[in-house]
Amino acid sequence: EQSLHLIVRVSRLGARYVLLLGDDRTEAHRLEEVRRDFLANVSHELKTPIGAVGLLAEALESAADEPDSVRRFAARLSAEAERLAKITSEIIQLSRLQSGDALEKAELVDVDHLVRQSIDHHRVAADAKDIELVVGKRRHALVLGDPAMLSTALNNLVANAIQYSPEHSRVGIGVTLTDGVIEIAVTDQGVGIPAADRDRVFERFYRVDTARARNTGGTGLGLSIVKHVAQNHGGDVRLWSQPGNGSTFTIRLPEAVEASAVPTGATG
Ligand code: ADP
């Protein structure tokens, strides 16, 4: 061990940063670095809404006898609080997914059911932009997995497709099953993603256009969660995109095998 680990506690957030000095860059060190970057990002991302909540609460206090200002500050306060709740819940989801015990509650999940649920969930948001949600042919396909996580992953893709699409366009969800591999593809006609960003969008907190994404309520964690959910289920996620012409995100998952082929006890 050539490197020196310097541990600095930041008492206010209870966060702990690990500084790595030296040039022995083994895998363990790299992981430690990733963890450190993540913590730094988390505190950075939380600082803005927490600061805003504090300021808005103060503004609210001093505007007590101006009803219009009170209403305005209160609306912004609740928007910031909502954003804070979203970031926090996504950070928790992500850390659960990375802890490895993610598939404790695996059960047989009907992919067609997941898709229909997701469509229902996003109907209002799609209607608001006059986006037509198009579902492909029904496919009988079963995945062994955590229904809530699979649902979250698909919902993140559909929410993004709607978010990054113009009004009056279409978002399609299609399911195919080939040689034991289930593909759930979400296609939009939106802004697309430049080639240089295509791998990076799956990184935590990465946004193609930071200012725009923040304004639209994006946290930069959605696709990272999708990637981890897919990987936890033995699958992956792929991206095809043409800037200006839209994107297709495809979650690929292994089809659940017949119960008779599964060792006893494994199906719960
Ligand atoms: P966010 O919360 O910012 O949407 P994501 O992890 O879901 O975070 O996505 C990361 C970035 O990838 C987004 O900020 C956006 O720039 C880009 N992106 C994601 N989905 C799409 C899409 N369907 N079309 C265009 N860009 C997208």
> For 179-208, how does the pLDDT look when each residue is reduced to its tens digit (9 = 90+)?
999 999 999 999 999 999 998 999 988 888
Q: Which residue has the tokens 């992919």?
A: 111
Ligand 1 nearest-atom number relative to CA 214: 3
E strand segments, 168-245 = 170-178, 181-188, 236-242
Ligand 1 nearest-atom number relative to CA 223: 6
pLDDT digits (tens, 9 = 90+) for 220-230: 899 999 999 99
pLDDT digits (tens, 9 = 90+) for 51-92: 989 999 999 999 988 999 999 999 999 999 988 998 999 988
Mean pLDDT over the full length of the chain: 84
Q: Which spans in the chain are helix H? A: 27-62, 67-99, 111-128, 147-163, 210-215, 222-232
Q: How far is the CA of 157 from the centre of ligand 1 (A)?
A: 9
Instruction: Among 154, 160, 208, 210, say which to mutate for ligand 1: greatest number of ligand atoms within 8 Å of CB.
Output: 160
What is the Cα–Cα distance from 202 to 228, expressed in whole angstroms?
Answer: 9
Could you tell me what percent of the chain has a pLDDT over 70? Answer: 82
Range with the poorest average pLDDT among 10-24, 75-89, 100-114, 151-165 = 10-24
Question: Which protein residue's CA is at the shortest distance from atom 13 of ligand 1?
Answer: 207
Question: Which protein residue's CA is at the shortest distance from atom 8 of ligand 1?
Answer: 220
Return the sign of the alpha-carbon dihedral for residues 77, 79, 80, 81: positive
What is the Cα–Cα distance from 159 to 155, expressed in whole angstroms?
Answer: 6
- Quick one: pLDDT band at residue 34, thresholds 50, 70, 90? confident
Q: Which spans in 100-190 are helix H? A: 111-128, 147-163
- Calculate the CA 103 to chain-centre distance: 18
Looking at residue 101, what is its pLDDT?
A: 60
Is the per-residue pLDDT at 257 higher than 80?
Answer: no
What is the Cα–Cα distance from 221 to 203, expressed in whole angstroms?
Answer: 8
Could you tell me what percent of the chain has a pLDDT over 90? Answer: 55
Q: Classify burial at 77, counting beta carbons within 10 Å of its beta carbon; exposed 0-12, middle 13-18, buried 19 or more.
A: middle
- ipTM score here? 0.98
- Quick one: pLDDT band at residue 49, thresholds 50, 70, 90? confident
What are the CA-CA distances from residue 114 to residues 118, 138, 141, 156, 245 (Å)? 6, 11, 11, 13, 27
What is the Cα–Cα distance from 93 to 185, expressed in whole angstroms?
Answer: 23
Looking at residue 14, what is its pLDDT?
A: 39
Is the per-residue pLDDT at 268 higher than 60?
Answer: no
Q: What residues flank ligand 1, with Cβ below 6 Å? A: 156, 160-161, 164, 188, 190-193, 201, 206-209, 213, 218-224, 247
Q: How far is the CA of 205 from the centre of ligand 1 (A)?
A: 10
- Quick one: pLDDT band at residue 6, thresholds 50, 70, 90? very low
| Bridge partners, 250 (sequence order) | 185, 238
- Quick one: pLDDT band at residue 261, thresholds 50, 70, 90? low
Residue 84: what residue type? L
Q: How far is the CA of 125 from the centre of ligand 1 (A)?
A: 16
Between 156 and 97, the more confident residue is: 156
Looking at residue 100, what is its pLDDT?
A: 63
Between 131 and 140, the more confident residue is: 131
Q: How far is the CA of 61 from the centre of ligand 1 (A)?
A: 36
CB-based contact 17:6 (threshold 8 Å): no
Among 14-18, 138-142, 150-154, name the most confident range: 150-154
| Bridge partners, 4 (sequence order) | 21
Looking at residue 260, what is its pLDDT?
A: 61
Q: Quick one: tokens of 42?
A: 């988390």
Q: Quick one: tokens of 185?
A: 């593809």
Residues 146-156 as b/e (b if ≥16 CB within 10 A, e otherwise) read bbebbbbbbbb
Q: How far is the CA of 218 from the centre of ligand 1 (A)?
A: 8
Q: How far is the CA of 149 from the centre of ligand 1 (A)?
A: 19
Q: What is the DSSP letter of 213?
A: H
Instruction: Among 207, 219, 221, say which to mutate for ligand 1: greatest number of ligand atoms within 8 Å of CB.
Output: 207
CB-based contact 152:93 (threshold 8 Å): yes
State pTM to two decimals: 0.80
Ligand 1 nearest-atom number relative to CA 224: 6
